[in-house]
Chain A
Amino acid sequence: MDRTDVDERIRTLIEPSNKKGVDIGDGTSFAGDLEFDSLTVMDFVAAIEDEFDIIISMNQQAEIETYGQLVDAVCRLQND
């Protein structure tokens, strides 16, 4: 799966959590722009893990601040 496909599928998954209707780009931050709290993060991460059949450990989550970093991380984890 290439980056465009991953991006597209994550965009669908993020929709229910994007309550403010933020225009999402690679630089969009989860804490600052999307204002995700810890519960939203938990649900969102679980949805991505199920969609791609991967694990994003809490250690890895701590390194991911923006949407673009998330797409890159999922691409990488898919190929592992």
Chain B
Amino acid sequence: MSEGISQPDAPVQAEGNATDLFSKFDSLIQQREALLANGVEDPFSLVMEKVLSPTRAVCNGRDTILLGTYNYMGMTFDPDVIAAGKQALDDFGSGTTGSRVLNGTYGGHRDCEQALREFYDMDHAMVFSTGYQANLGIISTVAGKGDYVVLDIDSHASIYDGCALGNAEIVAFRHNDIDSLDKRLGRIPEGAGKLVVLEGVYSMLGDVAPLKDMIAVCKKHGAMVLVDEAHSMGFIGPNGRGVAEEQGVIDDVDFIIGTFSKSVGTVGGFCVSNHPKFEILRLVCRPYVFTASLPPSVVATAATSIRKLMQGTEKRAHLWENSKRLHGGLKALGFQLGTEEPQSAIVAVIMPDLERGAAMWEALLKEGLYVNLARPPATPANMTLLRCSLCAEHTAEEVETILGMFERAGKAVGII
């Protein structure tokens, strides 16, 4: 063996332990390895091999009831929705290959915005390629340098990222705390622009915001109000317009943000507004301009689904029944839940720690039930949650089956 081969050019470093830009992820890598070393199925790499309906799929080889998809209104297999998508694929092709402001606005995009204006009874609608981008774009563009964005501390990542992308001053208030919001708005310097960002339903615990009182406080201080209704569209409010409609304050909301990837059943995001100058945002909003528009099939399915949701009164009533039964049943079994009463189609089951949360998640999967495992830092107060989101297509019998699965899994893991 020559000396040249046994003497490397660079200093010797044990493989895998080298310090580089990835070193900051080491603690997370170790936490994951420790969790998986117990033999638990990886909660973050589940594969659905076959999707049978809005509520059933074959997951990791097992026939599974889906209880963590946000497919609240079960529109993903609606025959009219599917037909509209197929027709658009045939007529307009698989993609637009362009920005909304250049070659990426087809008739279907305009029609989808028209469907949103009808659904919300508002003057303007702007469709983004994802819900994430809708928050990113509107918040970063509307609030500029010297302005203030005031947000709930438990806001979704897309809201925080919208703040990070913009140049405004960011001020957080305690979750759903009207007094905390009032105080912070009162301390903002005279003359500064103010945007308050709220959510109708907070997706981690499934709790609803006291929008009526909060929006009154915002108006008292002359602030504009943005409400993210991602988890309430289609379901909450007499016309499914969300929590602001349910609480009778939708006319005082300046911007509603929403998504197509929950009740609407496809992908995409939007903002609706009555602001007279709203249309200028199409030219100045970077996450709208500098990305390709949604494929024609997606906007066609979205428009069809949105118009059908306007007639969804019976489905909404059944979804409420499902939510109430699951919430009441889990509570009676002795599980600790995110809210005292059911407030939305999300029922969050609080786990004692990540290890038992992951064990419970796996036990449920083996029973044939999929729920979302949510863990810090995405969760409030460092909680580990099993988040259940119900669908209007879950039958009453399925909800009973689900409760039986929770009972067996909870006893096996020792949580109840």
Contact = CB atoms under 8 A, between A and B. Distances in A.
Interface of A: 37-39, 42, 46, 49-50, 53-55, 57-60, 80
Interface string B372-384: 0000010001100
Interface of B: 148, 153, 163, 169-172, 174, 180, 183-184, 187-189, 377, 381-382
Contacts of A80: 189
Given A39-B382, A42-B174, A55 B188 contact: yes
A30 B296 CA distance: 51
Contacts of B183: 49-50
Given A42-B172, A58-B171, A59-B169, A49 B187 contact: yes
Given A50-B183, A55-B187, A38 B170 contact: no
A10 to B, nearest CB: 18
A46 B180 contact: yes
Contacts of A50: 183
B170 to A, nearest CB: 4
Contacts of B382: 37, 39
8 contacts: A37-B382, A42-B172, A49-B183, A55-B169, A55-B188, A58-B163, A58-B172, A59-B170
B169 A57 contact: yes
B174 A55 contact: no
A38 B377 contact: yes
A49 B184 CA distance: 9
B181 to A, nearest CB: 12
A80 B190 CA distance: 12
Given A42-B153, A59-B169, 17 more contacts: A37-B382, A46-B174, A46-B180, A49-B187, A50-B183, A53-B187, A54-B187, A55-B184, A55-B187, A55-B188, A57-B148, A57-B169, A57-B171, A58-B163, A58-B170, A60-B169, A80-B189
Contacts of A37: 382
Nearest to A62: B170
B117 to A, nearest CB: 35
A54 B174 CA distance: 16
Contacts of A49: 183-184, 187
> Which 4 pairs between the two chains have the least Cβ-Cβ distance?
A58-B170, A57-B169, A55-B187, A57-B171
A58 B164 CA distance: 10
B174 A57 contact: no
A75 to B, nearest CB: 17
Contacts of B188: 55
A59 B148 CA distance: 11
A60 to B, nearest CB: 8
A80 B153 CA distance: 26
